[in-house]
Amino acid sequence: MKRAVFLDRDGVINRAVVRNGKPYPPASLAAFELLPGVVEAVAALRAAGYLIVVTTNQPDVATGKQSREVVDAMHDRLRRALAVDDIRVCFHVDADGCRCRKPLPGMLLEAAREWDIELAASFMVGDRWRDIAAGQAAGCRTLFIDYGYAEPRPEAPDRLVDSLLAASRWILAESGA
């Protein structure tokens, strides 16, 4: 079985737009900006043999605040910039009750089945409680990038970090890579 690092998108890979203490996705392709250290972090994790799977909630598509075409263009740019193996997207809102929307682990479980991923040997990196809860529900170790958002904090992540680069260094040290 393979090992993976599951990454949330906004706030982990690219800069989130913070309004009133809460993070939001960029509104346009022009505003889609990779965070410092992301290219290096993903390259180091891939070199150590980890699959890189992006798992992102994008409910603005369902609510009409964002178009699917813009989200797809962002993901095309992301694929060109980073060696990611898969991008999983949930376009639903909480009220839809789908199993793929974080904090539920549906995106991680589905990727694990398709990619033959051993979840107990894998990690979830996120900047919101939903990411950490999804990783924990899937059986992954979790790393929380703490930006101090004005929203609930996750319960008992395995590690607090300040960036994806810091998360990648911790993962590599923990796995002996």
Told to judge if 10 belongs to the known catalytic residues of this protein, a careful annotator would answer yes
**Residues in Cβ contact with 142 at an 8 Å cutoff, skipping those fewer than 6 apart:** 123, 124, 125, 126, 131, 132, 135, 136, 154, 157, 158, 159
Q: Which of 8, 72, 94, 96 is catalytic?
A: 8
CB neighbour class for 121 (10 Å; exposed up to 12, middle 13-18, buried from 19): middle
Q: Which of 10, 94, 116, 162 is catalytic?
A: 10
- Active-site annotation, residues: 8, 10
